[in-house]
A and B are shown apart, each in its own frame.
Chain A
Amino acid sequence: MTETRAPNTLTPSSPAVAPGVAGAVAPDTLLRVDNLVKHFEIRGGLLGMSRVGAVKAVDGVSFSVRRGEALGLVGESGCGKTTLGKVILRLLPATSGRVEMDGQVLFDIPARGEPRRRPVYASNEAMKKVRQNMQVVFQDPYASLNPRMSVGELVGEGPLVHGMTDKKEREALVRDMLGRVGLNQSHIHRYPHEFSGGQRQRIGIARALALHPAFIVCDEPVSALDVSIQSQVLNLLNDLQAELGLTYLFIAHNLAVVEHISDRVGVMYLGKLVEMANVDDIYANPRHPYTVALLSAVPEPDPHRRKKRIILKGDIPSPANPPSGCRFHTRCWLREQLGRPERCTTEEPVLRALGSGQESACHFAEEISPEAVASAVASSGPTVTAEP
C-alpha cells in the first residue's frame, strides 16, 4: 500500500498531458503498459503473519493502446483480465511495472531482480487529472450504482468532484449525458432500482462519459444483460466511440462480442498475454494453440455448422501455482502433436512478432497449420470413458 502515500512526485521531464509529444512513445499511443505484474499475497501461519505464496493474477503484461482504437482483451475466468484493468486504473496497487497514460506516468515500480531504484508514482493532483481522463464501466449494473443516489447525483458526481460544473449547471450536463446514452431526460430524479438492467448499464456509461474521458475501460459491460439488450448497449458503445473519438480497453469473455467491438485483440491465459493481433487476423488465423482451442470451443448459432471441436483436457491450473515453462503446456494440443518437446516445460515463451504482424507467445507458433488443427479436432474424443 505504499503508493497511497505517493512518496515521489513525477519529475516534470515528461510534460504533463501534452498529447503527441511524449518522447519515445509513438505519437498516437494513448496508453502504454510495460511488464505489469500484480501478485496477491496468500498469507498463512500463525495469525496470518507469514507469506505462504502468491496468486499471480497478472504476471508480466506489456501492450499499448492507440488513440481512438478499441483493444479487446479476452480470456477465461481467472486469467487476470479484470485485475489488469483495475491495476491500469490504479484501483488496485501494482506489484511492479509501468503504466503511462497520455504522456503521464501513473506508476513505475521496479520488478524483482531489476536494479534497485525508487518506485515512481504520479502525485495525487496528477492522478486526479488523469482519472478524469480515464473512466470505467463495470460488469454488474446492479452492484455498481449506489442505490441511495438518484440518476442525477450518480451521473453528476464526477463532474462536481472535478470542479467541471457547479450544482446549478449540473442538471443541464446530466440531461445532456442521459440524452446521449438514450435514456429519458425526465428520469433524472429516479433511483437505480426503477430501471432495468440495460438502462442501468446506460446510467453506468453516462456516469463514465460525464467527465469527457479519452479512455474507458469496459469490464464485461454486456455480460450481465439479456441477449436482446446486449445489442442495444454494444451499438451505443460503438456510436459513442465514433462520435467522441473514445479509446476502449474492452474486457470480455464472449469472443463474438469482442470481435464485434475491437480493432485489436489480446488473449490472456493465467496472467500472461499469449497472443495479440488485429481482430481479423486473430479470428481468421490464430497463432497460439490456446487461441485456436478457445475459438474452436465457441458454439455457433447455426445448426448447419455443428462442428467438431478441440476439447481441451482438464481445468485451468491455479494462478497461485502456474505450470513451469509455458503455462499452457499442461493442456496444449499442439505440444501433444509435436511429441511433447521439453522446451515447453522448461523455457517460458515470450510474446514475439511473427511475420504476419501477429504476436504469439508460443515456441512453436509456426507449426500451427490448418492440417495440424484438423488433426487436433479429429483426436479430441468425447470425455466419456467406461461403458455402463
Chain B
Amino acid sequence: MATTRGAQEALLEVVDLRTHFATADGLVRAVDGVSLRIRPGKTLGVVGESGCGKSITALSIMRLIERPGRIVSGSITFDGQDLLRLPEDEMRNIRGNEISMIFQEPMTSLNPVYTCGDQIAEAVSRHGSLTQREAAARAVEMLEQVGIPDAKRRAGEHPHQLSGGMRQRVMIAMALSTNPQLLIADEPTTALDVTIQAQILELMKALRERNGMAIMLITHDLGVVAEMSDDVSVMYAGKVVESSDAITVYDRPHHPYTKGLLASIPRMGARRERLDVIKGVVPNPLNLPSGCLFKRRCPYAMPICDNAPPLRLVAEGHVSRCWLAPDGGRPELGEAPSAAEAEAAALTLTVANP
C-alpha cells in the first residue's frame, strides 16, 4: 500500500495494526488489521460507526492504550521512526510536541480545578524551555489565535465558565501550542451545535493552512469528513475496509459498506420517500463471523465471502477489503465455487499488500 499513492512520502504510516483487549468475556479485537497513511499537511478522515475501532486506533498511535488492552502487532511509522519501538521517554516527547490530540468532550478532557491559561501554559512549558511568564504569555497568544475574544480574561477562567464551543477552542489551543506536525482530532465537533461546529471546522481549516500540519480526523459524520478531508479511510469492525482520496470514496465507493452508508443518510435538498438501509446490526466483537465481517449485512454476499478478503487494490490509490471485481461487478467464480476453488481464485485477483 505504501507505494500506491504516488511518490509523496507519508508523515504517518500505520501498517496492519492490531490492538486487542483481554476482557473477562473473552478477547476483543478492537483494532484488527488497520493500515492508514497520512500525508504531510493533508487531512485523513477516518469514518466508522461506534465500536469500529477508530478511537482505539488513535490511542494506539499515541501509545495510550492501557491494560487490559495491548498492541499485539503492526507498525506505526511517524517521520521515519517506528513509534511502537520507541522507549517511553522518547514517546513522551513525540506526544504533544509532534503529535497532539483533541477529544470529543472538552469538559472531561480539561482539568476543572485549573484555569484555561494554566493548562495551556503547562502544555507549553512541559514541551519547551520557557519561563513561567513566557509560558503564560504564550497561553494568551494561543487563545487569541483560536479566536477567543478577550483572551487575557478568559485565560484566568476555569473550564466550567466557558461554553462547549469555547472549551473546544481551548483544547485546540492547547493541542497546537507546541506546533505539532500531526493533530489527531477524535470527534472534535460531535458534542457541539451545528453553528458552533461550523466555527470550529473553519478554525481547523485556517490553522491547518497556516501551520502546515496534517490532521487525522475521526468522526462518524460523513458530512464533516467530506468537508475537511483530502483522503478517507472507512473502518468497520476493527478493520479498514476502504481507503482512497475523498472524491473517489464519495463518487465511486467500492466496498458495499461504504456504498450502504452513503446511500442511507438523509441529504438536504434531496428528499426521498424511503432511505436505503443497511440491514442488520454491527456484529458483536466477541462473536465475529468468519470470513468477511460484513457478509451478513451485505447485499452482494457470495460464497467466497467465507474467506476473509485482504485489502485489494481496485484502482490507483484506491484499496477495498472486498472480493468484488474492481469495477464493482461479481468476480468470475462460477455459481458456487468450493472453498478450495475460491481460495485459488482469490489469489489470482489483484491483491494489495498487506
Contact = CB atoms under 8 A, between A and B. Distances in A.
Interface of A: 76-77, 196, 198-199, 226-232, 234-235, 238, 253, 255-257, 259-260, 279-280, 283-284, 293-306, 309, 311-312, 314-316, 382-388
Contact of B246 (A234, A279, A293, A303): A303
Contact of B207 (A226, A238, A296, A384): A384
B63 to A, nearest CB: 28
Contact of A231 (B266, B268, B269): B266
Interface string B333-353: 000000000000000000000
Nearest to A310: B198
B22 interface: no
A256 B166 CA distance: 26
Given A196-B281, A260-B275, A306 B220 contact: no
A386 B207 CA distance: 11
A300 B145 contact: no
Interchain residue pairs A-B with the least CB separation, the first 9: A383-B147, A299-B223, A382-B206, A297-B198, A231-B264, A260-B266, A76-B193, A231-B275, A299-B227
Contacts of B133: none
B85 interface: no
Nearest to A296: B198
Contacts of B261: 227-228
Contacts of A386: 141, 144-145
B60 to A, nearest CB: 22
A312 B193 contact: no
B104 interface: no
A243 to B, nearest CB: 14
B265 A384 contact: no
Contact of A299 (B201, B207, B262, B279): B201
A306 B226 contact: yes
A259 B206 contact: no
29 contacts: A227-B265, A228-B261, A231-B264, A231-B278, A238-B273, A255-B194, A256-B265, A256-B268, A293-B195, A296-B198, A299-B223, A299-B226, A301-B223, A301-B226, A302-B267, A303-B229, A309-B198, A309-B202, A311-B195, A311-B199, A316-B195, A382-B202, A383-B203, A384-B145, A384-B146, A384-B203, A385-B144, A386-B141, A388-B210
A16 to B, nearest CB: 37
B277 interface: yes
A271 to B, nearest CB: 15
A384 B247 CA distance: 28
B194 to A, nearest CB: 5
B196 A315 contact: yes
A256 B199 CA distance: 19
A76 B268 contact: no
Interface of B: 49-50, 141, 144-147, 149, 163, 165-166, 179, 193-199, 201-203, 205-207, 210-211, 220-227, 229, 246-247, 250-251, 260-262, 264-269, 271-279, 281-282
A279 to B, nearest CB: 8
Contacts of B201: 299
B165 A260 contact: no
Given A382-B202, A382-B203, A388-B145, A76 B195 contact: yes
A232 B49 CA distance: 15
Contacts of A316: 193, 195
B299 to A, nearest CB: 13
A299 B221 contact: yes
B166 A303 contact: no
A231 B166 CA distance: 32
Contacts of B149: 314
Contacts of B277: 228, 231-232, 235
Of residues B195, B201, B210, B225, which shows the largest number of chain A Cβ atoms within 10 Å of its Cβ? B195
A256 B271 CA distance: 9
A123 B233 CA distance: 58
Contacts of B282: 196, 226, 228
B275 A234 contact: yes
B260 A77 contact: no
A256 B226 CA distance: 15
A198 B264 CA distance: 15
A316 B194 CA distance: 11
Contacts of B222: 227, 301
